[in-house]
Amino acid sequence: MHAWLKAHGRAKQVDTDEAYLELANFLVELFVSDQYGIDSQMDLVLKLTMYMEDCIADGGAWREFIRWHKEKYGRYLPFYELSDDTYFPDEINVEDVAFLLWAYDNPVEDFIVDPLHPGLQDLARVVYGLLERFFEKLPIADADALGKEWVMPREQMEKERRPLPIARPGDKLSADAQRVLEASGGDPLLFLDSYAAGEEFFTNTLGWRLVEDDLDSKTKENTTYVLYANPKGLLVAPSVAPFFAHPRNPTYDPAYARDLGWAVFHAKGLCPFDLLKYAMEHNLLPDVVFPNTTHEETLRENWDFVARWFLGEYYEGD
């Protein structure tokens, strides 16, 4: 009960809570495993139970989320093909369950699950069948008792993707951005293929005074740089250059991009968001996919949502 009330952001128990805790305790038997850690699996169980609570009440954070996604992206959920004949926004759906499993059953923080993975889809169908057994039995909770913003913070949903900063004739650029454009022949992107090349360019071309760092030799050996010159200044992104399919990029590695490129949408601070937008709007990440996927386009077609979901404050951050 303590975990349930905390997830709802309230201290007072209401009449319907006990009934939903019965469902949560039933789901615990299915999900909680020492292999993945009890806390993360308990969170998943609470989210699935709150999903049922919202659907039965036809309100709450889940309804707000799917209506926002429909308005923002043209369909109620990312990733899945939804039709009016098979998806019902006022009921429970197997696609909803699949999304919640994808969103909350990620036991390893430095990994991202393919939302269309067959194993996840099979589990979603099993869980949906269990939830369906409870759907007609559970009471309708009052609107003010439902959890708030448990799917996605409203502030994150309300963020607008800003237009890409583009240098126009006559624009005054920073000295660093201007030097990068000169070095690249006018291309806003410049690629440096090693730590030594970066050290030389930053020191001799940009005139930066570098301080002694604590990177080990192996890290330095594998360091590359993407520099992005734009009207806002100069962005520098270490280590992501091999993902970029650019004719002037000597480090481009399509196999490496396929294996690890998803990290630019997942790891906060790895790739500046303006650079990520530039790459997507110019088709510079064609090999980036969800790990172990057979659905090549899923990540690229839903990249803005995936970045918004995982990057948090780094999505259009200041």
Q: Are residues 88 and 209 in the same domain?
A: no
Q: Which of 157, 185, 216 is the last residue of a domain?
A: 157
150 assigned to some structural domain: yes
pTM of the model: 0.93
What is the model's pLDDT at position 216? Answer: 57
- pLDDT tens for 250-289 read 999 999 999 999 999 999 999 999 999 999 999 999 999 9
| Mean pLDDT score of the chain | 91
Residue 157, both tokens: 């949903």
What is the model's pLDDT at position 266? Answer: 94
Q: Are residues 13 and 66 in the same domain?
A: yes
Residue 102, both tokens: 């994808």
Q: Are residues 113 and 239 in the same domain?
A: no
- pLDDT tens for 30-74 read 876 655 566 778 889 999 999 999 999 999 999 999 999 999 999
Residue 216 · residue 209 · CB < 8 Å:
no
Quick one: DSSP state of residue 292? Answer: T
Amino acid at 101: L
**Parent domain of 180:** 175-314
In whole angstroms, how far apart are CA 257 and each of 40, 238, 239, 264? Answer: 29, 15, 11, 10
To which residue do tokens 């481009």 refer? 252
Arithmetic mean of pLDDT, 77-82: 95
Q: Is the per-residue pLDDT at 129 higher than 90?
A: yes
Q: Are residues 153 and 28 in the same domain?
A: yes
Arithmetic mean of pLDDT, 123-137: 94
26 assigned to some structural domain: yes
Residue 29 binned pLDDT confidence (cut-offs 50, 70, 90): confident
Q: Are residues 187 and 138 in the same domain?
A: no
Q: What's the N-to-C CA distance of the chain in angstroms?
A: 39
What is the model's pLDDT at position 210? Answer: 72
Q: Are residues 118 and 222 in the same domain?
A: no
- pLDDT tens for 209-256 read 876 665 555 556 668 999 999 999 999 999 999 999 999 999 999 999
- Domain count of the chain? 2
112 assigned to some structural domain: yes
Q: Are residues 205 and 295 in the same domain?
A: yes
Residue 274, both tokens: 């303006």
What is the model's pLDDT at position 28? Answer: 87
168 assigned to some structural domain: no
What is the model's pLDDT at position 41? Answer: 81
295 assigned to some structural domain: yes
Q: Are residues 87 and 150 in the same domain?
A: yes
167 assigned to some structural domain: no
Residue 318 binned pLDDT confidence (cut-offs 50, 70, 90): low
Q: Which of 124, 157, 190 is the last residue of a domain?
A: 157
Residue 194 binned pLDDT confidence (cut-offs 50, 70, 90): very high
What is the model's pLDDT at position 169? Answer: 59
Residue 202 · residue 208 · CB < 8 Å:
yes
302 assigned to some structural domain: yes
What is the model's pLDDT at position 291? Answer: 92
Q: Are residues 259 and 210 in the same domain?
A: yes
Q: Are residues 284 and 189 in the same domain?
A: yes
What is the model's pLDDT at position 34? Answer: 59
Q: Which of 157, 184, 217 is the last residue of a domain?
A: 157
290 assigned to some structural domain: yes
